[in-house]
């Protein structure tokens, strides 16, 4: 992948040239077969196996004492995730260790 030396936009190939993808810029430069050969592409790469661990008893998450609103169990897996703007606190998510009901707890 090449980026424009003038504006930083991604460039595309047109024949023997790299042409800036930003039509207002208009920058182009000749292609270099030797440097292109060193570029990494996704073509020809081996596919990796996706392993589903959703049914694993231990989801790799820590557990805590928390009341499940669905089955009244008192233990849940938990994790935190930023789902709002960066200046607000993270949201805590819980997954019941018994029924796998998922709920969240927000700071207000």
Q: Per-residue pLDDT tens for 27-69?
A: 989 888 877 777 766 665 556 556 555 555 555 788 999 999 9
Q: Which residues constitute the domain of residue 81?
A: 63-105
Answer yes or no: is 52 a known binding residue: no
How high is the pLDDT of residue 54?
57
> Is residue 94 in a domain?
yes
> Is residue 56 in a domain?
no
> Is residue 101 in a domain?
yes
> Is residue 21 in a domain?
yes
Q: What is the pTM of this model?
A: 0.45
Answer yes or no: is 75 a known binding residue: no
Distance CA 12, CA 18 (A): 6
> Is residue 54 in a domain?
no
CA 60 → CA 46, 63, 65, 79, 93, distances in Å? Answer: 27, 9, 16, 10, 14
Answer yes or no: is 20 a known binding residue: yes
Answer yes or no: is 72 a known binding residue: no
Q: What's the chain look like in SS3? A: CCECCCCCCEEEEECCEEEECCCCCCCEEECCHHHHHCCCCCCCCCCCCCCCCCCCCCCCCCEEECCCCCCCCCEEEEEEECCCCCCCCCEEEEEECCCCCEEEECCC
> Is residue 92 in a domain?
yes
Say which CATH number the domain at 68 has. Answer: 2.20.25.10
Answer yes or no: is 7 a known binding residue: yes
Least confident of 22-26, 37-41, 96-100: 37-41
> Is residue 98 in a domain?
yes
Answer yes or no: is 25 a known binding residue: yes
Answer yes or no: is 78 a known binding residue: no
Answer yes or no: is 16 a known binding residue: no
CB-based contact 78:90 (threshold 8 Å): no
Q: Give residue for tokens 């570029």.
A: 39
Q: 1 and 34 in one domain?
A: yes
Task: Report how many domains make up the chain.
Answer: 2
């Amino acid at each position: 992948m090449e980026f424009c030396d003038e504006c930083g936009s991604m460039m595309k190939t047109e024949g023997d040239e790299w042409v800036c993808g930003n039509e207002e810029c208009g920058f182009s430069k000749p292609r270099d077969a030797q440097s292109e050969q060193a570029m990494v592409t996704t073509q020809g790469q081996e596919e990796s196996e996706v392993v589903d661990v959703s049914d694993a008893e231990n989801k790799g998450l820590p557990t805590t004492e928390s009341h499940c609103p669905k089955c009244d169990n008192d233990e849940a897996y938990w994790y935190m995730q930023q789902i709002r703007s960066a200046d607000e606190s993270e949201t805590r998510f819980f997954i019941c260790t018994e029924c796998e009901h998922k709920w969240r707890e927000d700071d207000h």
